[in-house]
Structure 1
């Protein structure tokens, strides 16, 4: 079998109604699969006005809004009519992108139909507990995730560091890599636009510290703002540029009243915004890859990031940026002060990061997942996987 023989039933709790790195990766994957001749059908909750135009055909799954985070939905069990639709589609592999009720139901159905099920890991859900005052629940959430992932034939991590963590957590012992790509037509140093910066009142010679992403507390906004407080206390000349939107924007604006909030950007506008920064600061520990880190590297920016899954596989400490223990605002401030104080250091780190980013192309990384699909199907047919 080759890619044209694949019939993939994909299950996601959020395929396109919120714009984030995981959803964009899934949509790029589906576009690639369809372009290569595979058959794909997506099962996900839907909304009237999605954030992304969906690639492929979506079958809507009933869901309810998550309390305190109504922009996200929690899918309900697979209805009987949808199970009939799945059976009629005749998938030969199930791809599950979220370990929720829909994902558990999809694994059950795959077992009943005698087909392999794989899961892609996009978020470290267990770490979310610490942002809601429930850190004591992390071991419980980790155990729930382990039960789900170990029922899959294989799981795919977006980075080597995340794959190693999954093995250490005993989530599954068949762990492959499906990394992320970069659109170099959008993210590149030539997109830098000082005139655009001036429109926000940013002087050309002021080092700009950038934040890119959804404005939610799980992105480490508290650590980011605490670090900026320390820079200001030291008298380090800088400007903060925030790109993104989300429910924590008002909180972030109050914490950083001197920052520039450029709002949501996409496509070439996002590429321009990133390239117009002088460094990226990414203190988050919840990502499994860190698309924004790779985008910044492609734009020739040094990256200061937490030592966490994803970033640890992309950032070379002392070469393309600095890796700092999570939550260490004082050490983050040291790293940012270093790059704020040296144009040459920024140039050297940015050049190195830009060179590394050339290894990541979307078609190449998506083909690696296709090869993984085919391997899992062959192994199940040969009786090498547990049933």
Structure 2
């Protein structure tokens, strides 16, 4: 099977209506697939004014807004219209990227027709529950996810650390790696702009600690704020730069009244903002892959991160950054203070991280997904031939 033989039906809970690392990875994958001659059709909720233009052909799936988080939508049905479109497209592989209702229906559609199905993991959804005091539901949610993923022919995970968790949770026996790349034309140390820093009131000798991402509690905003409080108590000269927006922005602004909040940035403005910082603090434990961590490394920044999936595959503790127990605010502050007191350590770890980021080429990474598609399609075809012979 050649890449040009592939007909991929990709199901996403959020392909382009809110910008995040997961859907940007999916759009990059679709771009790569199209360049290889594959045919792709994307099924996802849509909105009148999406965050960015979708790559490829996008078919709208019925959805409803999530209560309390109206910016996100949940796909709710594989309607007759969508099923007709799917049947006419006649995919030879179904790819789901979020464990929602439509993903379950899509896998059922594939199973009834002996079409190969795979799932890609982008977020540790079950870990979100703790931030909303719903830990009691975690076993139930994990069981639903297990039922879905075990009906797939394979899973692709963004890092070995995430794959290890999935194996331990018995999600599937066939788990391979689809890691993430970084746009090195956009993110690089040359984007650093001291004049821009000064223009927003940051002194040259202050350690600029960056938060980059969507402002939601599950990104570890409470741990970030606690670490900064501890750093302030130690009389370290620092400044916090918050890059991003979201429903928890008001809460975060109240917790960090002296921080610089510059909102969501894109393109060169995002790269300039990040490269003009001195260290990224990423306390999140919900990531399957830390896209922002890799972007910071590509800008030459050391990273202080939670010792959890999403970071352990990127940050080499004591080499490219510092890993900290996820609930140890003092430990995060210790790491930040070490970088503030020792600029040479900061530079050394930043340089090592930059060297690693230069190896993360998107096309080489996305080719692994094509190989997985080809392998599982051929595997299902072999099983079908054996069944017919028996």
Same fold (TM over 0.5): yes
Residue 289 of structure 2 is matched in structure 1 by 289
Instruction: Find the counterpart in structure 2 of residue 121 from structure 1.
Output: 121
Q: Secondary structure at the match of 2:94?
A: strand
Distance 1:157 1:56 in 2: 23
The equivalent residue for 2:87 is 87
Q: Secondary structure at the match of 1:43?
A: strand
1:318 maps to: 318
Equivalent residue, structure 2, for 1:212: 212
Spell out structure 1 runs of 4+ moving beyond 3 A.
Answer: 384-387
Deviation at 1:383, TM superposition (A): 0.8
- Is the contact made by 1:15 and 1:23 (CA closer than 8 Å) also made in structure 2? yes
Per-residue deviation, 1:384:
8.2
Q: Which residue does 1:58 correspond to in 2?
A: 58
Q: Which residue of 2 aligns with 1:96?
A: 96
Please name the residue that 1:362 is paired with.
362
1:131-187 deviation line (CA, Å, top 9, x unaligned)? 101112222211111111111000000011111111111111100111111111111
Residue aligned with 2:8, SS? strand
Distance of 2:262 and 2:44 partners within structure 1: 31
SS at structure 1 position matched to 2:318: coil
In the TM superposition, 1:240-255 aligns within 5 A as 240-255=240-255
2:164 counterpart of 1:164: yes
Q: CA deviation at 1:309?
A: 0.6
2: CA distance, partners of 1:376 / 1:262: 45
Q: Is 1:47 matched up with 2:76? A: no
Q: How do 1:316-355 residues align onto structure 2 when only pairs under 5 Å count?
A: 316-355=316-355
Whole-Å Cα distance in 1 between the matches of residues 286 and 385 of structure 2? 31
Q: 3-state SS of the aligned residue for 2:289? A: coil
In 2, are the aligned partners of 1:153 and 1:386 still within 8 Å (CA)? no
Distance 2:363 2:71 in 1: 30
In the TM superposition, what is the alpha-carbon distance from 1:386 to its structure 2 partner? 11
Q: Which residue of 1 aligns with 2:74?
A: 74
Whole-angstrom distance in 2 between the partners of 1:367 and 1:239: 41
Rate the CA distance shift 1:64–1:261 in 2: closer, same or farther, 3 A: same
* 3-state SS, counterpart of residue 152 of structure 2: coil
* Per-residue Cα deviation, 1:277-303 (whole angstroms, up to 9, x for no partner): 000000000010010000011111010
CA-to-aligned-CA distance 1:297-341 (integer Å, 9 cap, x gap)? 111101000011120000000011100111110111111110111
| Preserved contact between residue 153 and residue 385 of structure 1 (Cα < 8 Å) | no
Partner of 1:232: 232
**Alignment partners' CA distance in 2, 1:385 and 1:249:** 56
Counterpart position of 2:105: 105
Distance in 2 between residues matched to 1:349 and 1:136, nearest whole Å? 40
- Between the aligned partners of 1:316 and 1:179, the Cα distance in structure 2 is 16
Whole-angstrom CA distance in 1 between matches of 2:15 and 2:276: 30
Q: Which residue of 2 aligns with 1:147?
A: 147
Give the Cα separation in 2 of the matches to 1:281 and 1:386.
Answer: 53
CA–CA distance in structure 2, aligned partners of residues 273 and 113 of structure 1: 49
Residues 1:21 and 1:211: Cα distance change in structure 2 (over 3 Å): same
What is the CA–CA distance in structure 2 between the aligned matches of 1:189 and 1:13, rounded to whole Å? 34
Distance 1:49 1:199 in 2: 32
Q: Hey, what's the Cα distance between the residues in 2 that align with 1:323 and 1:101?
A: 36
Which residue pairs with 2:188 in the alignment? 188
| TM-score (ref. length: structure 2) | 0.98
Distance 1:384 1:364 in 2: 31
Q: Secondary structure of the equivalent of 1:313?
A: coil
Q: Where does the alignment leave 5 or more consecutive residues of structure 2 unmatched?
A: none
Partner SS for 1:209: strand
Work out the CA distance in 2 between the residues paired with 1:259 and 1:178: 36
| 1:93–1:377 CA contact under 8 A, matched in 2 | yes
Q: SS of the residue aligned with 1:382?
A: helix
**Residue 304 of structure 2 aligns with which residue?**
304
Match of 1:59, SS?
Answer: strand
Cα distance between partner residues in 2 of 1:104 and 1:386: 27
Distance in 1 separating the partners of 2:361 and 2:368: 11
Query: Is the alpha carbon distance of 1:384 and 1:316 closer, same or farther for their aligned partners in structure 2, counting shifts above 3 Å?
Result: farther
Q: Please state how far the C-alpha of 1:205 moved relative to its aligned partner.
A: 1.3
